[in-house]
Amino acid sequence: MGHKVLIAGGGLAGICLGYQLAENKIPFILIDSGVNHSSLKAAGLVNPIVFRRMLKSWRIDDFLPYAIQFYKKTGKYTDSEFFHYLPMRRGFAHQQETELWESKQNLEEYKIYLSKLTNEDKTSEVLINNFGTGIVKETGYIDTKVFLENSYAYFESIDSYQKIEYKYNEFDLSKKTFRGENFDKIIFCEGYKGIYNPWFNYLPLQATKGQTIIIKSNTLKDSEILNRKCFLLPLGNNEFKVGATYEWNTTDLSTTIEGLNTLKENIEQLIHDDYEVIHQDAGIRPTVKDRRPLLGEHPEFKNIFIFNGLGTKGYSMAPLLSKELLNYIYENQPIDREINISRFK
């Protein structure tokens, strides 16, 4: 059966593409190994601010409203809610950060994200507070497990999902076939495993390991995400996810004592509360040297595409980027130069 799109890899990138294709009534099949090392391991945080310089993150004004609508809409297919609003409290790292925040909180382009610092914020004791705290608005998290599981269930219900672990020699890209079946287009969405893809391995994709822990604490509040040195995301039941480490250029999937210690040191600078570590986990982010995603068509094989390199903020970016990729494939709209794979060789 021809005239179908094959999505190879069903993490966040492949799932977002699947929803876009379904929406446009374009037949597709998404294949995934059923084992995921990034989208599932992620905290799923959405945060518009880069705190170090108190700047908006790249294209966030485009990404965020689209993403929130997207998760709302796609969640409905399985009667679920993927995205949950939750304010984030930033503990300022030094006096300049407080001053930067105050200089921006009234600016038109920042006031939707930075709430005006109040005296309560300045003296807040929810976290270790040396220089004051501030509440970021328009923050929250995607329940990553629900997002992945329910999306697969939905795609299965429309006959568009198969749990398959593929090998590269099962593709013939000049004929656009996989296991002998002909496809209209093939889109590789393989996360960090894209470093092994023989057709796209010329791109500077990197594997960046991240470790997280889950802690239990009876005194921590669950009404805010906390941030300073690390994030602390309430999970319910007095449990909180804390992360994440950055370990460059490794595909090692094991949790380590070094990772645990780094996270514990970070927690010591965030909260006074007693806690118990109940779980440790490791994942691998697909990152790119220039910190921009990888979208586009293979320079030689027509109708073969890639959607990868989502890095550390994939959950904010992937919904709109998946739409931009489809606009390129089906409407000939150009892909932004910053994210187009044509920027490499």
Ligand X SMILES: Cc1cc2nc3c(=O)[nH]c(=O)nc-3n(C[C@H](O)[C@H](O)[C@H](O)COP(=O)(O)OP(=O)(O)OC[C@H]3O[C@@H](n4cnc5c(N)ncnc54)[C@H](O)[C@@H]3O)c2cc1C
Sign of CA dihedral 34, 11, 49, 109: negative
Nearer to ligand X, 14 or 132 (CB): 14
- Residues forming contacts to ligand X in the complex (CB under 6 A) are 9-14, 31-33, 35-39, 41-45, 165-166, 189-193, 210, 212, 243-244, 283-286, 308, 310-316
Residue 114: CB minimum distance to ligand X, A: 20
Give the integer Cα–Cα distance in Å for 99 and 212.
Answer: 31
User: Who contacts 111 (Cβ-Cβ below 8 Å, separation ≥6)?
Assistant: 105
Helices (H) and strands (E) in the chain, counts: 7, 22
Residue 96: CB minimum distance to ligand X, A: 25
Residue 200: CB minimum distance to ligand X, A: 12
Residue 213: CB minimum distance to ligand X, A: 10
Nearer to ligand X, 98 or 160 (CB): 160
- Within 10 angstroms of residue 259's Cβ, the number of other Cβ atoms is 22
Residue 297: CB minimum distance to ligand X, A: 18
Nearer to ligand X, 132 or 243 (CB): 243
| Element containing residue 17 per DSSP (H, E) | helix 12-23
Query: Which residue carries 């960046």 as its tokens?
Result: 208
- Within 10 angstroms of residue 263's Cβ, the number of other Cβ atoms is 22
Nearer to ligand X, 263 or 329 (CB): 263
User: Who contacts 36 (Cβ-Cβ below 8 Å, separation ≥6)?
Assistant: 10, 11, 148, 191
Nearer to ligand X, 134 or 194 (CB): 194
